[in-house]
Amino acid sequence: MTLPAHATTLPLRHLLLGLAVVAVWGTNFVVIKYALAHLPALTLAALRFALAAFPALLFIRRPAASWGNLAAYGLLIGVAQFGLMFIAMTRFVSPGLASLLAQVQVFFTIGLATLIAGERVRLFQVLAMALSMAGIVLIGWHAVDAGAAVTPLGLVLMLLSALAWASGNIVSRSAGRVDALGYMVWSSVFAVLPLLGLSVALEGWPAIRAGLVAADAATWAAVLWQSVGNTLFGYGVWAWLLARYPAASVTPLALLVPVFGMGASALWLGEPLPGWKIGAALLVLAGLALNLLWPRLQAALVTREG
C-alpha cells in the first residue's frame, strides 16, 4: 500500500485519538490483572474476542478486506499477542513490567515496515526512538532491581507477544482504508475458536468451569472492558491510524503506555512513584515530543523563511 505523500504527521484530532488509545491500553494492564484473579488466561482471551465479535457482526458489515487478511490479523492479535500476554501475566511477569515489555512492538513494527513496505525512517525519528528507549530501559532496569516479578519464560512470552502485535500492525495496514470497527469485529471471529481450543487443551475444563463460577461482577466488567474498550475502540482506532500514516509516525505513541500503566498502578494498586520512575517517564515523553513536534517545527521554520 502506498501512503499519500502528505500523510507523514498526525493532525491534532488524530493525535488525540492515538493518545486516548494508549491511555486505554496502559490502564488496561491493571484491569487484566483483576480479570486473571478468577479466569484462566486463555479463557479470558477467548471471552474478550468472543464479546468483541458477537453480536456486533450481526449488525456490522464485513469490511473490504480479504478473508485471509482478517484471519491473519485475528490470529496474530487474538491468539498470539493476547494469548501469550495473558499467560505471561498469570505468574511470570508483573502488570507494570508487562506494560513496559509490550512496547518493544514499536521497534518491531518500524523494522517490519522498513523491510516489507520500504518506509524510510528519518534521523529525528531515530533520535526520538533512542531517547524514548532510554526511558524504557531505565524503567526496566529499576523494575528488575526493585524485585518486580519476571522470569525468563515471562520475558520470552512478552517479546513474542510484542512481535505478534507488530506483525498484526503490518497486516492491518495492508488491508488499506477499510472500516476499522468492522475490521476489528470480523477479525475477532478468527481468534475465538483457536483460543477456546487451546484453553481446553492447556488449562482444562475443570479450571475453566471453576473460573466462570468464581467470576464476580467486577470480573465480567473487566472482560467487557477488554472487548469494547481495549479491542473495538483501541485496536479499531489503531488500525485506522496505521492505514493513514507511516508506522514511524503512529507507533511511537505506544511508548506512552507504560506511563499510563504506572499511573494506573499508583492510583488503583498503590504502587509508589519514586524519582527514577518520573525521570524515565520524562525521557519517554521527550522522545515522543521530538517525534511528533519536530516536523511541525521544521514546517513552521520553512514557512517563516519563505
pLDDT one-digit tens code per residue, 51-79:
999 988 998 999 999 999 999 999 999 99
For the chain, the domains span 12-120+150-256
CB atoms within 10 A of CB 140: 17
| pLDDT class of 145 with cuts at 50, 70, 90 | low
| pLDDT class of 152 with cuts at 50, 70, 90 | confident
Q: Which residue has the higher pLDDT, 246 or 45?
A: 45
Residue among 154, 6, 179 at smallest CA distance from 84 = 154
In this model, does residue 300 exceed pLDDT 80? Answer: no
CB 26 within 8 A of CB 264: yes
Q: Which helix or strand (DSSP H or E) is residue 131 part of?
A: helix 123-145
Looking at the DSSP bridge assignments, the partners of residue 150 are 93
Lowest-pLDDT choice from 104-108, 171-175, 237-241: 104-108
Residue 1: its pLDDT value, please? 39
Residue among 41, 88, 45 at smallest CA distance from 194 = 45
In this model, does residue 5 exceed pLDDT 70? Answer: no
Lowest-pLDDT choice from 3-12, 58-67, 168-177, 212-221: 3-12
The model's pTM is 0.81
Mind listing the pLDDT tens digit for each residue in 271-293? Answer: 767 787 778 878 887 887 787 67
Rg from Cα positions in the chain: 19
What integer best gives the mean pLDDT of the chain? 85
In this model, does residue 139 exceed pLDDT 80? Answer: no
In this model, does residue 6 exceed pLDDT 50? Answer: no
Residue 261: its pLDDT value, please? 85
Residue 4: its pLDDT value, please? 44
Residue 23: its pLDDT value, please? 92
In this model, does residue 10 exceed pLDDT 50? Answer: yes
Mind listing the pLDDT tens digit for each residue in 198-232? Answer: 999 999 999 999 999 999 999 999 999 988 888 88
Looking at the DSSP bridge assignments, the partners of residue 93 are 150
**At what angle are helices 12-36 and 83-91 packed, to 10 degrees?**
50
How much is the average pLDDT of 80-85?
A: 96
